Structure 1
Amino acid sequence: MFSKQLIRASYLAPRRLVAARFVSFTAESQPRIRLGSEAPNFVADTTQGKIDFHNWIGDKWAILFSHPADFTPVCTTELGAFAKLEPEFTKRNVKLIGLSTEGVDSHNQWIKDIEEVSTGGSKFGFPIIADSSKEVAFKYDMLTESDFQNINSGVVFTVRSVFIIDPAKKVRLIMTYPASTGRNSAEVLRVVDGLQLADAKGIATPIDWSVGDDVIIPPTVSDEAAKAKFGEFKTLKPYLRTTKAPK
């Protein structure tokens, strides 16, 4: 097994692209990922065994987030933050799964570092996908423009992307971060709360909304229907009405 030093060095040094199952990675064959589209399915090895992604999601929500390589500093802090928040996601019927372009053995060594520096020694609970072929990165369009141009001939790293996927396997949120900027795990949790409340109660959430704040009544709901459904509400503009968050 490679030492941590060798693994880190392999990330910094040029690497040969691992042969993929695709005949070619072309723009024409790349799935179009939009909000509301079906999350592409895949079969992959993870730190918790081989999974069929759609079967793994089951009847729950899922959050898929990607990393360029193991033993990278920003990603180590991010995975640790998500690990600490995992109980809150579980309460909301959400499963977490990470992704990196290294193999499972490397992931398992990286998890030891994450547990040491980012989780306070708590066990790291969710799987990390081994995407050395870049298949998942391609299917989910996680690549920068320059990386995509080199996907068949050069070193390729995944963009640091986040996807929230609902139980119907529909993509509900896409966020992509540059390598230098860490993600906000609390924001991902906040969005899950907003999406689930909107789905359940037919409302929208305003800027900087958090659980317990007032929500927005959609313009498609008449005043009469809003009164019957939500009770009292405030009319700030004919198109902007707020009410207490329904329970």
Structure 2
Amino acid sequence: MPGLLLGDVFPDFEADSTVGRISLHAFLGNSCRTLIPQRCWGILFSHPRDYTPVCTTELGRAAKLSAEFSKRDVKMIALSLDSVEDHLGWSKLFQATNHKADILAYNNDSSCNALPFPIIADNKRELAVKLGMLDPDERDKDGMPLTARCVFVIGPDKRLKLSILYPATTGRNFDELLRVIDSLQLTAQKRVATPVDWKPGDNVMVVPNLSDDEAASLFPSGVTTKDLPSGKKYLRYTPQP
């Protein structure tokens, strides 16, 4: 994303949303499961358009997994170029008519009346441009580019911890986003890294800048080293602390 690098403070902004006017930093810091604002993480993710097939499946899946994100002290917020009215029509149960909106119907969830996270309305494309969210290959009926499928993970310090950019035609894997969050939160607290295809509970890797003596002291469960043709001892594993 142009101009926004890992470690940068994520830009604060005000915008209209399905829960009213919000400030991003205030929204992310208001509350989370632990009621400790300093521990709250955030995910801001964009989608191309309301009432479209891939987007409906994505937000439906995000809604189904919302309790898992909440358990990790993560607050979610979505964004697209549609109006607040379109967002609500697409995502909320209207009590007067008992009309269940498309996303809720897709999930077959009779207990839920609205998405468990807000959707930002970026009608003027101001945020999409500022945050590098536009997909030049996907355009609306007027020839204007739509938002791509961006994912920004924002840490408790309001700094960017991860960004992923998918084209509009490719749906995301929200189970993978949970895995990424688990890795980010673990490695933020412990001096370890997570190897390819790592899942919570698997062995982790000792970071290269730790000496063997430091590693032995930090990881009492033990450190194992894989032998390599080069003779270098850099593949060091330990049980997840």
TM-score normalised by structure 1 residue count: 0.82
CA distances 1:45-98 after superposition (whole Å, capped 9, x unpaired): 110111110111113100010011110100100001010100011111100001
Cα RMSD, aligned residues only: 1.7
CA contact (8 A) 1:206 1:216 kept: yes
CA contact (8 A) 1:80 1:119 kept: no
Q: Is 1:224 the counterpart of 2:213 in the alignment? A: yes
TM alignment of 1:1-247, pairs within 5 A: 32-58=3-29, 59=37, 60-111=40-91, 112-118=101-107, 120-123=109-112, 124-145=115-136, 154-231=143-220, 232-236=222-226, 237-246=232-241
Higher helix fraction (1 or 2): 1
Structure 1 spans left out of the alignment, 5+ residues: 1-29
Q: Report sequence identity in percent.
A: 48
Amino acid at match of 2:116: G
CA distances 1:184-237 after superposition (whole Å, capped 9, x unpaired): 000000000000000111210000001000000001001001001002111115
Give the match's secondary structure for 2:208.
coil
Amino acid at match of 1:94: V
CA contact (8 A) 1:81 1:119 kept: no
TM-score normalised by structure 2 residue count: 0.84
Matched residue pairs, number?
213
**Structure 1 residue runs of 4 or more that deviate by more than 6 Å after TM superposition:** none
CA positional deviation for 1:138: 1.2
Inter-partner Cα distance in structure 2 for 1:47 and 1:141: 22
Inter-partner Cα distance in structure 2 for 1:139 and 1:118: 32
Segment drifting more, 112-121 vs 187-196: 112-121
Inter-partner Cα distance in structure 1 for 2:153 and 2:110: 27
Which position in structure 1 is the counterpart of 2:95?
Answer: none
